[in-house]
């Protein structure tokens, strides 16, 4: 089987047998994070946290703001991961092959 990478988040190797499940898992997480960011933003906006900056010093609003910041950071990272994996699927390469391209002589040949 083709080995893609070892995922530290699910503690499993990702390869040909479970790559689509991994991409589905990442996509579901992406949608959950988008929903969380929208929800946190609307809660903070309803508290007028952004119109009065001093309210961010209060525990509930600052906690929500920190959660939103963390969710946005993870969402950005997950977006990059999904784009990278989609690129690899389109060019029919694994992460392992992409990172070790110089090690594989069959990628150096030109033509069929």
Please, what is the Cα angle at 90 between 100 and 94, to 5 degrees? 25
Q: Where are the alpha helices (DSSP H) in the chain?
A: 19-46, 59-90, 95-99
- Between residues 76 and 17, which one has the greater pLDDT? 76
Q: What is the pTM of this model?
A: 0.74
pLDDT band at 100 (very low <50, low <70, confident <90, very high): confident
Q: What does the pLDDT look like over 59-83, one tens digit per residue?
A: 466 788 889 999 999 999 999 999 9
- Between residues 86 and 44, which one has the greater pLDDT? 86
Q: How far, in Å, CA of 68 to CA of 62, rounded?
A: 10
CB-CB contact of 43 with 64 (8 Å):
yes
- How far is Cα of residue 93 from the mean position of the Cα atoms in its chain? 19
């Amino acid at each position: 089987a083709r080995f893609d990478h070892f995922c530290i988040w699910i503690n499993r190797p990702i390869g040909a047998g479970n790559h689509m499940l991994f991409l589905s898992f990442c996509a579901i997480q992406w949608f959950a994070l988008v929903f969380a960011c929208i929800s946190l933003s609307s809660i903070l906006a309803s508290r007028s946290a952004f119109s009065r900056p001093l309210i961010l010093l209060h525990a509930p609003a600052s906690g929500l703001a920190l959660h939103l910041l963390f969710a946005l950071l993870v969402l950005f990272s997950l977006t990059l991961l999904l784009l990278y994996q989609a690129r690899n699927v389109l060019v029919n390469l694994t992460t392992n092959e992409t990172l070790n391209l110089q090690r594989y002589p069959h990628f150096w040949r030109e033509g069929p």
